Protein backbone atom coordinates (compact mmCIF):
# COMPACT_ATOMS: atom_id res chain seq x y z
CA UNK A 1 0.00 0.00 0.00
CA UNK A 2 1.39 3.40 -1.00
CA UNK A 3 2.26 5.79 1.83
CA UNK A 4 3.79 9.12 0.89
CA UNK A 5 5.79 11.60 2.97
CA UNK A 6 6.30 15.12 1.60
CA UNK A 7 9.06 16.97 3.48
CA UNK A 8 8.89 20.73 2.93
CA UNK A 9 5.15 20.50 2.35
CA UNK A 10 4.52 24.13 3.32
CA UNK A 11 6.50 25.55 0.38
CA UNK A 12 5.45 26.62 -3.10
CA UNK A 13 5.72 23.14 -4.64
CA UNK A 14 4.90 21.16 -1.50
CA UNK A 15 1.45 22.58 -0.88
CA UNK A 16 0.15 21.83 -4.37
CA UNK A 17 1.94 18.50 -4.53
CA UNK A 18 0.30 17.30 -1.29
CA UNK A 19 -3.13 18.40 -2.55
CA UNK A 20 -2.67 16.46 -5.81
CA UNK A 21 -1.14 13.38 -4.16
CA UNK A 22 -4.04 13.24 -1.69
CA UNK A 23 -6.52 13.39 -4.59
CA UNK A 24 -4.78 10.43 -6.22
CA UNK A 25 -3.84 8.23 -3.26
CA UNK A 26 -6.21 9.31 -0.47
CA UNK A 27 -5.85 11.93 2.28
CA UNK A 28 -4.62 9.55 4.96
CA UNK A 29 -1.95 8.07 2.67
CA UNK A 30 -0.09 11.36 2.24
CA UNK A 31 1.73 12.85 5.24
CA UNK A 32 2.71 16.51 4.99
CA UNK A 33 5.84 17.49 6.93
CA UNK A 34 7.31 20.92 7.45
CA UNK A 35 9.39 22.85 9.95
CA UNK A 36 6.44 25.01 11.11
CA UNK A 37 4.43 24.08 14.23
CA UNK A 38 1.17 24.16 12.31
CA UNK A 39 0.30 23.67 8.67
CA UNK A 40 -1.75 25.95 6.42
CA UNK A 41 -5.50 25.36 5.90
CA UNK A 42 -4.74 23.78 2.51
CA UNK A 43 -2.82 20.95 4.19
CA UNK A 44 -5.35 20.23 6.95
CA UNK A 45 -7.10 17.55 4.86
CA UNK A 46 -4.71 14.86 6.09
CA UNK A 47 -1.86 14.06 8.48
CA UNK A 48 0.76 16.69 9.30
CA UNK A 49 4.01 16.33 11.22
CA UNK A 50 6.38 19.04 12.35
CA UNK A 51 9.79 18.03 10.99
CA UNK A 52 13.12 19.82 10.77
CA UNK A 53 15.01 18.00 8.04
CA UNK A 54 18.28 18.88 9.79
CA UNK A 55 17.16 16.97 12.88
CA UNK A 56 18.60 13.72 11.56
CA UNK A 57 17.67 11.58 14.58
CA UNK A 58 14.04 12.66 14.44
CA UNK A 59 13.79 12.18 10.66
CA UNK A 60 15.37 8.71 10.93
CA UNK A 61 13.16 7.50 13.76
CA UNK A 62 9.99 8.94 12.18
CA UNK A 63 10.66 7.24 8.84
CA UNK A 64 11.73 3.96 10.46
CA UNK A 65 8.44 3.96 12.35
CA UNK A 66 6.06 5.20 9.62
CA UNK A 67 7.78 3.40 6.72
CA UNK A 68 6.59 5.68 3.89
CA UNK A 69 6.98 4.00 0.50
CA UNK A 70 7.67 7.29 -1.31
CA UNK A 71 9.45 10.36 0.08
CA UNK A 72 9.43 13.74 -1.67
CA UNK A 73 12.23 15.83 -0.16
CA UNK A 74 11.47 19.45 -1.03
CA UNK A 75 12.99 21.39 1.89
CA UNK A 76 15.62 23.79 0.50
CA UNK A 77 16.77 27.40 0.34
CA UNK A 78 16.28 28.85 -3.16
CA UNK A 79 18.85 30.79 -5.18
CA UNK A 80 18.48 34.37 -3.93
CA UNK A 81 18.12 33.48 -0.22
CA UNK A 82 20.96 30.96 -0.44
CA UNK A 83 23.35 33.72 -1.56
CA UNK A 84 22.56 35.55 1.69
CA UNK A 85 23.02 32.48 3.92
CA UNK A 86 25.54 30.30 2.06
CA UNK A 87 26.59 28.00 4.90
CA UNK A 88 23.06 27.34 6.08
CA UNK A 89 21.91 26.82 2.46
CA UNK A 90 24.63 24.24 1.87
CA UNK A 91 23.72 22.36 5.08
CA UNK A 92 19.99 22.44 4.48
CA UNK A 93 20.22 21.50 0.81
CA UNK A 94 22.71 18.64 1.34
CA UNK A 95 22.31 17.10 4.81
CA UNK A 96 18.61 16.30 4.43
CA UNK A 97 19.35 14.59 1.13
CA UNK A 98 21.98 12.31 2.72
CA UNK A 99 19.60 11.37 5.53
CA UNK A 100 16.91 10.32 3.05
CA UNK A 101 19.29 8.59 0.62
CA UNK A 102 20.75 6.57 3.50
CA UNK A 103 17.29 5.54 4.75
CA UNK A 104 16.47 4.32 1.23
CA UNK A 105 19.80 2.47 1.04
CA UNK A 106 18.91 0.76 4.34
CA UNK A 107 15.55 -0.32 2.88
CA UNK A 108 13.16 1.99 4.80
CA UNK A 109 12.02 3.93 1.69
CA UNK A 110 11.22 2.50 -1.75
CA UNK A 111 11.30 5.65 -3.89
CA UNK A 112 12.65 9.19 -3.47
CA UNK A 113 11.86 12.39 -5.33
CA UNK A 114 14.41 15.16 -4.96
CA UNK A 115 14.10 18.44 -6.89
CA UNK A 116 16.97 19.90 -8.86
CA UNK A 117 16.85 23.14 -10.84
CA UNK A 118 18.02 25.01 -13.94
CA UNK A 119 20.45 26.56 -11.42
CA UNK A 120 22.78 23.57 -11.97
CA UNK A 121 23.86 25.31 -15.18
CA UNK A 122 26.21 28.27 -15.25
CA UNK A 123 27.67 30.98 -17.46
CA UNK A 124 29.75 28.50 -19.49
CA UNK A 125 26.68 26.39 -20.38
CA UNK A 126 25.11 26.94 -23.83
CA UNK A 127 22.15 29.19 -22.91
CA UNK A 128 19.75 28.42 -25.74
CA UNK A 129 17.97 25.06 -25.80
CA UNK A 130 20.36 23.84 -23.09
CA UNK A 131 20.97 20.10 -23.60
CA UNK A 132 20.48 17.41 -20.96
CA UNK A 133 24.23 16.72 -20.98
CA UNK A 134 26.43 19.78 -21.23
CA UNK A 135 28.98 21.97 -19.41
CA UNK A 136 27.81 22.54 -15.81
CA UNK A 137 29.70 25.16 -13.83
CA UNK A 138 27.11 26.81 -11.55
CA UNK A 139 28.17 30.02 -9.82
CA UNK A 140 25.51 30.19 -7.08
CA UNK A 141 25.50 28.28 -3.78
CA UNK A 142 22.08 26.95 -4.66
CA UNK A 143 23.27 25.73 -8.07
CA UNK A 144 26.40 24.17 -6.57
CA UNK A 145 24.29 22.33 -3.96
CA UNK A 146 21.83 21.12 -6.60
CA UNK A 147 24.61 19.87 -8.90
CA UNK A 148 26.34 18.09 -6.00
CA UNK A 149 22.97 16.59 -4.99
CA UNK A 150 22.39 15.32 -8.53
CA UNK A 151 25.77 13.59 -8.52
CA UNK A 152 24.99 11.96 -5.13
CA UNK A 153 21.57 10.79 -6.33
CA UNK A 154 23.12 9.10 -9.36
CA UNK A 155 25.87 7.61 -7.16
CA UNK A 156 23.33 6.09 -4.72
CA UNK A 157 21.39 4.65 -7.66
CA UNK A 158 24.49 3.15 -9.29
CA UNK A 159 26.14 1.85 -6.11
CA UNK A 160 23.20 0.88 -3.93
CA UNK A 161 20.22 0.67 -6.31
CA UNK A 162 18.39 3.54 -4.54
CA UNK A 163 15.34 4.44 -6.68
CA UNK A 164 15.78 8.21 -6.71
CA UNK A 165 14.14 10.42 -9.32
CA UNK A 166 14.60 14.11 -10.03
CA UNK A 167 13.61 17.03 -12.24
CA UNK A 168 15.55 20.22 -12.97
CA UNK A 169 12.65 22.60 -12.39
CA UNK A 170 12.49 25.84 -14.31
CA UNK A 171 10.97 28.85 -12.46
CA UNK A 172 7.57 27.77 -11.13
CA UNK A 173 4.47 29.92 -11.38
CA UNK A 174 1.51 29.36 -9.08
CA UNK A 175 -1.11 31.18 -7.02
CA UNK A 176 -1.72 28.83 -4.06
CA UNK A 177 1.51 29.52 -2.14
CA UNK A 178 3.93 32.35 -2.66
CA UNK A 179 7.46 31.41 -3.77
CA UNK A 180 10.21 32.15 -1.30
CA UNK A 181 13.58 33.55 -2.25
CA UNK A 182 14.12 32.55 -5.88
CA UNK A 183 15.44 34.49 -8.86
CA UNK A 184 12.38 33.57 -10.91
CA UNK A 185 9.96 34.92 -8.24
CA UNK A 186 9.30 38.08 -10.29
CA UNK A 187 7.12 35.98 -12.60
CA UNK A 188 4.76 35.29 -9.67
CA UNK A 189 4.97 38.68 -7.90
CA UNK A 190 4.01 40.43 -11.12
CA UNK A 191 0.47 39.00 -11.05
CA UNK A 192 -0.25 40.27 -7.52
CA UNK A 193 0.98 43.75 -8.42
CA UNK A 194 -0.82 43.71 -11.77
CA UNK A 195 -4.09 43.05 -9.95
CA UNK A 196 -3.42 45.49 -7.12
CA UNK A 197 -1.79 48.49 -8.85
CA UNK A 198 -1.83 47.65 -12.58
CA UNK A 199 1.95 48.11 -12.64
CA UNK A 200 5.07 46.20 -11.64
CA UNK A 201 8.77 46.94 -11.11
CA UNK A 202 10.79 43.91 -12.16
CA UNK A 203 14.05 43.09 -10.37
CA UNK A 204 15.32 41.54 -13.64
CA UNK A 205 15.89 43.60 -16.78
CA UNK A 206 13.45 43.45 -19.67
CA UNK A 207 15.54 41.09 -21.81
CA UNK A 208 16.19 38.37 -19.16
CA UNK A 209 14.75 35.28 -20.82
CA UNK A 210 14.33 32.35 -18.39
CA UNK A 211 12.54 29.00 -18.59
CA UNK A 212 9.36 28.93 -16.46
CA UNK A 213 6.52 26.49 -15.89
CA UNK A 214 2.96 26.70 -14.61
CA UNK A 215 2.68 24.74 -11.35
CA UNK A 216 -0.03 22.37 -12.56
CA UNK A 217 2.36 21.14 -15.27
CA UNK A 218 5.23 20.87 -12.77
CA UNK A 219 3.14 18.80 -10.32
CA UNK A 220 1.94 16.54 -13.12
CA UNK A 221 5.53 16.08 -14.33
CA UNK A 222 6.67 15.22 -10.80
CA UNK A 223 3.99 12.59 -10.24
CA UNK A 224 4.36 11.18 -13.77
CA UNK A 225 8.08 10.72 -13.22
CA UNK A 226 7.50 9.11 -9.81
CA UNK A 227 4.86 6.75 -11.22
CA UNK A 228 6.84 5.84 -14.37
CA UNK A 229 8.07 2.22 -14.58
CA UNK A 230 11.55 1.98 -13.07
CA UNK A 231 13.16 0.86 -16.32
CA UNK A 232 11.90 4.01 -18.11
CA UNK A 233 13.74 6.28 -15.70
CA UNK A 234 17.09 6.22 -17.45
CA UNK A 235 18.51 9.40 -15.94
CA UNK A 236 19.23 9.22 -12.21
CA UNK A 237 20.90 12.62 -11.86
CA UNK A 238 18.00 14.84 -12.93
CA UNK A 239 15.79 15.44 -15.99
CA UNK A 240 15.71 18.74 -17.91
CA UNK A 241 12.17 20.17 -18.19
CA UNK A 242 11.67 22.98 -20.70
CA UNK A 243 8.49 24.83 -19.72
CA UNK A 244 7.84 28.19 -21.38
CA UNK A 245 10.69 30.65 -21.98
CA UNK A 246 9.93 34.36 -21.81
CA UNK A 247 11.44 37.69 -20.76
CA UNK A 248 9.93 40.10 -18.21
CA UNK A 249 8.92 42.29 -21.16
CA UNK A 250 7.13 39.43 -22.92
CA UNK A 251 5.34 38.53 -19.68
CA UNK A 252 4.40 42.21 -19.14
CA UNK A 253 3.04 42.40 -22.72
CA UNK A 254 0.99 39.22 -22.19
CA UNK A 255 -0.48 40.73 -18.99
CA UNK A 256 -1.16 44.03 -20.79
CA UNK A 257 -3.20 42.05 -23.34
CA UNK A 258 -5.52 41.03 -20.50
CA UNK A 259 -5.35 44.21 -18.39
CA UNK A 260 -5.61 47.59 -20.12
CA UNK A 261 -2.97 50.10 -19.10
CA UNK A 262 -0.68 47.64 -17.28
CA UNK A 263 2.78 49.26 -16.96
CA UNK A 264 6.19 47.61 -16.46
CA UNK A 265 9.23 49.26 -14.86
CA UNK A 266 12.69 47.76 -14.37
CA UNK A 267 15.08 48.04 -11.40
CA UNK A 268 17.52 45.09 -11.66
CA UNK A 269 19.19 44.06 -8.38
CA UNK A 270 21.67 41.30 -7.34
CA UNK A 271 19.36 38.66 -8.81
CA UNK A 272 20.18 39.93 -12.33
CA UNK A 273 23.64 38.33 -12.18
CA UNK A 274 22.07 35.00 -11.15
CA UNK A 275 19.56 35.16 -14.03
CA UNK A 276 22.36 36.03 -16.46
CA UNK A 277 24.18 32.80 -15.52
CA UNK A 278 21.15 30.56 -16.22
CA UNK A 279 19.78 29.09 -19.47
CA UNK A 280 17.28 31.01 -21.55
CA UNK A 281 15.58 27.86 -22.82
CA UNK A 282 15.87 24.12 -22.21
CA UNK A 283 15.87 20.93 -24.30
CA UNK A 284 13.74 18.30 -22.54
CA UNK A 285 13.82 15.61 -25.23
CA UNK A 286 15.04 12.99 -22.72
CA UNK A 287 11.99 13.51 -20.46
CA UNK A 288 9.70 13.32 -23.50
CA UNK A 289 11.32 10.11 -24.77
CA UNK A 290 11.86 8.29 -21.45
CA UNK A 291 8.59 8.88 -19.60
CA UNK A 292 6.37 10.62 -22.14
CA UNK A 293 6.53 14.17 -20.77
CA UNK A 294 4.31 16.75 -22.50
CA UNK A 295 3.63 20.29 -21.27
CA UNK A 296 0.07 21.74 -21.38
CA UNK A 297 0.16 25.41 -20.35
CA UNK A 298 1.44 28.08 -22.75
CA UNK A 299 2.12 31.72 -21.83
CA UNK A 300 -1.38 33.01 -22.69
CA UNK A 301 -3.19 30.31 -20.76
CA UNK A 302 -0.87 30.66 -17.78
CA UNK A 303 -1.36 34.46 -17.67
CA UNK A 304 -5.17 34.13 -17.82
CA UNK A 305 -5.24 31.50 -15.08
CA UNK A 306 -2.94 33.49 -12.80
CA UNK A 307 -4.87 36.76 -13.23
CA UNK A 308 -8.13 34.98 -12.47
CA UNK A 309 -6.84 33.26 -9.35
CA UNK A 310 -4.21 35.29 -7.47
CA UNK A 311 -5.51 36.55 -4.16
CA UNK A 312 -4.06 40.02 -3.52
CA UNK A 313 -4.82 39.83 0.20
CA UNK A 314 -1.74 37.54 0.39
CA UNK A 315 0.43 40.54 -0.56
CA UNK A 316 1.43 42.58 2.52
C1 LIG B 1 14.98 29.96 -8.07
O2 LIG B 1 14.75 30.97 -8.76
O3 LIG B 1 15.88 29.89 -7.24
C4 LIG B 1 14.14 28.73 -8.31
C5 LIG B 1 14.78 27.82 -9.31
C6 LIG B 1 14.83 28.18 -10.73
O7 LIG B 1 15.23 26.77 -8.94
N8 LIG B 1 12.84 29.11 -8.75
CATH number at residue 179: 3.90.25
Q: Which of 81, 182, 203 to mutate to test ligand 1, by most ligand atoms within 8 A of the CB atom? A: 182
Mean pLDDT over residues 20-41, rounded?
Answer: 97
Minimal-distance CA residue to ligand 1 atom 4: 182
Q: How confident is the model at residue 316 (pLDDT cuts 50, 70, 90)?
A: low
Residue 270 lies in domain: 173-212+244-280+298-315
Distance of alpha carbon 120 from the chain centroid: 13
Residue 250 lies in a domain: yes
Q: How far is the CA of 106 from the centre of ligand 1 (A)?
A: 31
Looking from the CA of residue 115, the nearest atom of ligand 1 is 7
- Give the per-residue pLDDT at 179: 78
Q: Which atom of ligand 1 is nearest to the CA of 278?
A: 6
Helix or strand (DSSP H, E) at 97: helix 86-105
**In a 10 Å sphere around its CB, with 0-12 CB exposed, 13-18 middle and 19+ buried, how is residue 165 labelled?**
buried
Same domain, yes or no, for 217 and 205? Answer: no
State the catalytic residue, choosing from 142, 169, 186, 239.
Answer: 142
Is the model's pLDDT at 16 over the cut of 70?
A: yes
Average pLDDT over residues 255-271: 97
- Tell me the three state secondary structure of residue 161: coil
Question: Quick one: average pLDDT of 109-135?
Answer: 98
Are residues 164 and 198 both part of a single domain?
A: no
| Residue 172 CA to ligand 1 centre (angstroms) | 8
Secondary structure (3-state) at 247: coil
Of 130, 142, 181, the one to substitute when testing ligand 1's pocket (max ligand atoms within 8 A of C-beta) is 142
Residue 289 lies in a domain: no
Residue with CA at minimum distance from ligand 1 atom 6: 171
pLDDT at residue 81, rounded to an integer: 97
Domain CATH for 231: 3.40.50.720
**How far is the centre of ligand 1, averaged over its atoms, from the C-alpha of 136 (Å)?**
16
Give the residue-averaged pLDDT of 58-77.
97
Quote the pLDDT of residue 57: 98
Asked whether residue 24 carries a pLDDT value surpassing 70, the answer given is: yes
> Where does the pLDDT of residue 244 fall: very low under 50, low under 70, confident under 90, or very high at 90 and above?
very high
Cα–Cα distance, 262 to 136 (Å, whole number)? 38
pLDDT at 315: 74
- What is the rounded average pLDDT for all residues in the chain? 97
Residue 313: per-residue pLDDT? 87
Q: What percent of the chain has pLDDT over 70?
A: 100
Q: Judge if 177 and 308 occupy the same domain.
A: yes
Separation between Cα atoms, residue 244 and residue 209, nearest integer Å = 10
- Is 223 within a domain? yes
Does some domain include residue 291? no
Task: Examine the domain organization and report whether 226 and 268 are in the same domain.
Answer: no
Instruction: Note the pLDDT of residue 210.
Output: 98
Of residues 187, 158, 155, the one with CA closest to residue 174: 187
Residues 23 and 151 in one domain: yes
* Lining residues, ligand 1, CB within 6 Å: 78-79, 117-119, 142, 169, 171, 182-184
**Domain match, 136 and 34 both:** yes
* CA atoms of 193 and 214, how far apart (whole Å): 18
Reported as a single tens digit per residue, the pLDDT across 215-226 is 999 999 999 999
Q: What is the pLDDT at residue 219?
A: 98
Give residue 174's pLDDT: 96
pLDDT of residue 140: 98
Q: Compute the average pLDDT of residues 123-128.
A: 98
Q: Are residues 15 and 110 in the same domain?
A: yes
pTM: 0.96
Residue 287 lies in a domain: no
Quick one: pLDDT at residue 126?
98
232 and 178 both lie in a single domain: no
Residues 217 and 140 in one domain: yes
Beta-bridge mates of residue 165 = 113
Decide if 142 is catalytic: yes
pLDDT digits (tens, 9 = 90+) for 153-171: 999 999 999 999 999 999 9
pLDDT tens profile 74-97: 999 999 999 999 999 999 999 999
Same domain, 109 and 165: yes
290 falls within a domain: no
- Does 120 share its domain with 204? no
Same domain, yes or no: 110 and 182 = no
Per-residue pLDDT, averaged over 49-54, amounts to: 98
pLDDT tens by residue, 171-210: 999 999 887 899 999 999 999 999 999 999 999 999 999 9
Q: What total number of domains does the chain contain?
A: 2
Amino acid sequence: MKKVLVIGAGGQIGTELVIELRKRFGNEQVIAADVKDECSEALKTGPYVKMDVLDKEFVRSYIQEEKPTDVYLLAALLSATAEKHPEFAWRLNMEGLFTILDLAKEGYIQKIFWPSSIAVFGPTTPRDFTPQYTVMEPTTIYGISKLAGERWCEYYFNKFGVDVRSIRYPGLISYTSLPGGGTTDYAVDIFYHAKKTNSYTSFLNEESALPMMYMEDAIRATIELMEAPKENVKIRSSYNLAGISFTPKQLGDAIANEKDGFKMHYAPDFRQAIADSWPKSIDDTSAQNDWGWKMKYDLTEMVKTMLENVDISKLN
